[in-house]
Amino acid sequence: MRAFSFLLAVIALALVIDHGEAQDKKEPPAAKAEKFTYRVYGLFSADREQDLREAFKELPDVTLLAVNYDDGEITVEMVPAKAFPGAKPEQVLERLDQKVRTETRSTFALGARRTIGRDKLEQVVIPIVGLDCKACSLAAYEMIAKLEGVDRVTASFKEGKVTALIDPTKTDKAKLEDVYRKRGVTLGKP
């Protein structure tokens, strides 16, 4: 009987040890995907949205969920540790921006969301002579899109104009027009 009790104790101990080892060998739980919203540069006309969507299909581990053309923002979903191994939280946007720039040959870029309410922004329209193709629209857009106080820019070669939402405490229409003039762009009449 003692041998039988001893045998049962050994089996029980083996089961406990085996269960503990099995627990140790389990993979850590998968990290949950998170949603992030970023400002997108290069979305100067509605037809560019499809170009952006196509580019995101080529980015592994990042899913484009939504494009908000009016606000110039996108929402993506990803597991940052999987998409950018070793990146600190404050480096995720920078790394994603680099991937987007590379995939789109720098025609799109990402940045932080606006910090001012849309109700505080003012819309300005600048007519431009010779704004007659998509490439010209991109160039006109890029000239002012990242200036301080400029929140959102669209450029329409069909209408021959650039429209910008600006923070009037930081810039104004005259400053934007000066940028164009200094770059040799002929402005139209309002």
Domain 118-182 has CATH 3.30.360.10: no
Write out pLDDT tens, residues 85-135: 999 999 999 999 999 999 999 999 999 998 889 999 999 999 999 888 888
What's the mean pLDDT in 148-165? 94
User: Looking at residue 39, what is its pLDDT?
Assistant: 96
Of all residues in the chain, what percent carry a pLDDT higher than 70?
85
Fold of 34-111: Alpha-Beta Plaits (3.30.70)
Is the model's pLDDT at 12 over the cut of 90? no
Instruction: Please count the other Cβ atoms lying within 10 Å of the Cβ belonging to residue 5.
Output: 9
Each domain of the chain, given as residue ranges in start order, spans 34-111, 118-182
Q: How confident is the model at residue 3 (pLDDT cuts 50, 70, 90)?
A: low
Of all residues in the chain, what percent carry a pLDDT higher than 90?
74
Is the model's pLDDT at 22 over the cut of 70? no
Q: How confident is the model at residue 145 (pLDDT cuts 50, 70, 90)?
A: very high
Determine whether 78 is exposed, middle or buried from the number of CB atoms within 10 Å of its CB (0-12, 13-18, 19+): buried
Average of per-residue pLDDT values in the chain = 88
Q: Rounded to an integer, what distance in angstroms lies between the CA atom of residue 23 and that of residue 181? A: 69
Q: Answer whether 34-111 and 118-182 agree in fold.
A: yes
Top-confidence residue, 7 or 160: 160
User: Looking at residue 177, what is its pLDDT?
Assistant: 96
